[in-house]
Amino acid sequence: MDIFSDLVMGLSIAITPINLLYLLIGAMVGMIVGVIPGFGPSAGLAILLPITFGMDPVGAIMMLAAIYYGSMYGGTITSILLNTPGESATVASTFDGYPLAKNGRAGPALVMQAVASFVGGTVGVILITILAPMFSQVSRSFGPPEYFLLAMMGMLTLLVMIGSNWKLGVISALIGFALGTVGVDLETGQGRYTFGSAELIGGIYFIPIAIGLFGLGELFYAFYSGMHRHGSGGLVQYSKEQRFWPTAEDYISTRWTMLRGSVLGFVVGVIPGAGATIASLMAYSTERSLSKHPERFGKGEMAGLVAPETANNAASSGAMIPLLTLGIPGSASTAVLLAAFLLWGLRPGPLFMEQNPEMAWGLIASMYLGNMVLLAISIFAIPLFVQIIKVPYRILGPCIVVICALGTFTVHASFIELYLMFAAGIVGFFMRLYGFSPAALVLALVLGPLAEEALRQTMTISRGSFGIFLDRPASVWIICVTAALLVLLPLLGRIGSGAGKAEKAGG
């Protein structure tokens, strides 16, 4: 019962009035940075880091961590209400979250995302508590060959996303891959399509593209269809008669989705660099493939919202494992947390939890409390957020443009990214008009560079031999899982849809 006593010790450290206050502040700041599109947790953390200089490190790390996982709660709110992902990990939440809101179920969707976030976050912390040492081995077994295979597995998601109109879907994905080639070539150091611009050295960041394609594209479409002439409400309808709380069916039908999303999200989160974005996209496509009603996905299926939401929160917990057990940050946000540890003169690494038990277990214990706090804040704040959609669209629309522009600009202070966002907005409008797939474009932009870099690293390491994928146990595992998914998912899908048809016929 070592773990238990450690956890109690952690709780005794976390539950002091001042630390609880820090936790509350962190949770609220996290919600806010999550809500603002583009302005993600890493930017929020970096800005608040200097404030923590004079603070007690334990309280400070609790606050910073709460900002980090709190942003996962906030990020979904705009995904659901405005089709604008608050940050990268909530792109997948727009797929069904926004249609749900359009169908008049904004309230239940927001509550379910808070519940899903809570479940994902809490399952994630429980897994950290019990399995941290074991999962640190998982983080250790991933090198370039495994990342390449993981990216390939992610591409399966692309197949799901391309959907029925495959020609337009493939074109969308190819545009994404093309955009992914911009930037300094990692291997040779030569600029590709940077045109001498210092701002394009790092390539095209996918946040401005995602905000433009989803948020602005949707907005332009709303104006195109004359939405601004309506008195109140926009594309999203909300009426008093409709129930605010989710129905029992919402909970029951998504209970396994929540569990699957949590475990999948956690495992992907543990792998440094894969992170919450890939986790949420994979959870979405897995759920869609397993669903009895895959045709309902993208049209407002609750499971399609719950899956990415549990996954991204569980992944953000999972990403704490390489940080705490190896001192390796798995994402931009955990890199800022690592910087904080270093600032306080700590040495994150395999001995960290042993040498600083108060810090490590105080942090883990605070994550249990933090998730509860966030659930409570979300539930209280939802009625406020729902008010947004009552604002007349001719007023709301320009506000969204300003918020998107501000959020995008804050991240890197780059005008080029601002132009990219507006350009992506126009492209997004036409994609929407002609039935292209913005989701496939964004996913290709994320996975393309990842796959390319990992493959080239692998080939340098193996001196051009593909045999390396079969030499490494972790690689072989991923190949087996991918193959199993390829074979099993279509089968399951067929059985599922067959059963669905039978039901319909029977009813």
Name the strand (E) or helix (H) holding 87: none
Of 198 and 248, the one with the shorter C-beta distance to other proteins is: 198
What's the burial of 80, exposed, middle or buried (CB within 10 Å: 0-12/13-18/19+)? buried
Number of residues that bind other proteins (CB under 8 A): 60
Tell which one of 9, 11, 46, 178 touches other proteins (CB under 8 A): 46
Residue ranges in 421-480 that form contacts with other proteins under rule CB under 8 A: 453, 457-458, 460-461, 463, 474
Least distance between other proteins and beta carbon 338 (Å): 7
Distance CA 182, CA 201 (A): 8
Of 47 and 178, the one with the shorter C-beta distance to other proteins is: 47
Tell which one of 140, 228, 293, 296 touches other proteins (CB under 8 A): 140
Q: Does 39 bind other proteins (CB under 8 A)?
A: no
Site string for other proteins, 268-307 (x = CB under 8 A): ----xx----------------------------------
HEC assignment per residue over 151-218: HHHHHHHHHHHHCCCHHHHHHHHHHHHHHHCCEECCCCCCEECCCCCHHHCCCCCHHHHHHHHHHHHH
Q: Does 491 bind other proteins (CB under 8 A)?
A: no
Q: Does 196 bind other proteins (CB under 8 A)?
A: yes
Least distance between other proteins and beta carbon 504 (Å): 48
Of 350 and 500, the one with the shorter C-beta distance to other proteins is: 350
| Placement of tokens 């390396």 in the chain | 468
Q: Does 338 bind other proteins (CB under 8 A)?
A: yes
Q: Which stretch binds other proteins (CB under 8 A): 173-181, 335-343, 438-446, 490-498?
A: 335-343
Tell which one of 104, 163, 191, 357 touches other proteins (CB under 8 A): 191
Residue ranges in 349-368 that form contacts with other proteins under rule CB under 8 A: 349-352
Q: Does 40 bind other proteins (CB under 8 A)?
A: no
Of 18 and 470, the one with the shorter C-beta distance to other proteins is: 470
Least distance between other proteins and beta carbon 159 (Å): 26
Q: What are the DSSP calls for 223-267, one per residue?
A: HHTTGGGSSS--SS---TTS-SSPPHHHHHHTHHHHHHHHHHHHH
Of 76 and 334, the one with the shorter C-beta distance to other proteins is: 334
Tell which one of 10, 169, 294, 330 touches other proteins (CB under 8 A): 330
The letter for the amino acid at 274 is A
Q: Give the contacts of 312 (CB within 8 A, at least 6 positions apart).
A: 72, 75, 89, 90, 92, 93, 117, 120, 265, 276, 277, 279, 280
User: In this structure, what is the dihedral angle of CA atoms 105, 37, 270, 159, given to the nearest 10 degrees?
Assistant: 70
Least distance between other proteins and beta carbon 285 (Å): 25
Distance CA 141, CA 131 (A): 16
* Cα separations in angstroms, 355 against 61, 230, 329: 16, 62, 19
Distance CA 163, CA 202 (A): 31
How far, in whole angstroms, is CA 3 from its chain's centroid? Answer: 29
Q: What is the DSSP letter of 68?
A: H
Site string for other proteins, 67-96 (x = CB under 8 A): ------------------------------
Q: How many residues does the chain have?
A: 507
Of 124 and 322, the one with the shorter C-beta distance to other proteins is: 322
Query: Which phi and psi (to 5°) does residue 183 adopt?
Result: 120, 175
**Which residues bind to other proteins, rule: CB under 8 A?**
43, 45-47, 49-50, 139-146, 184-191, 194, 196-199, 201-202, 272-273, 322, 326-330, 335-336, 338-339, 342-343, 345, 347-352, 412-414, 453, 457-458, 460-461, 463, 474
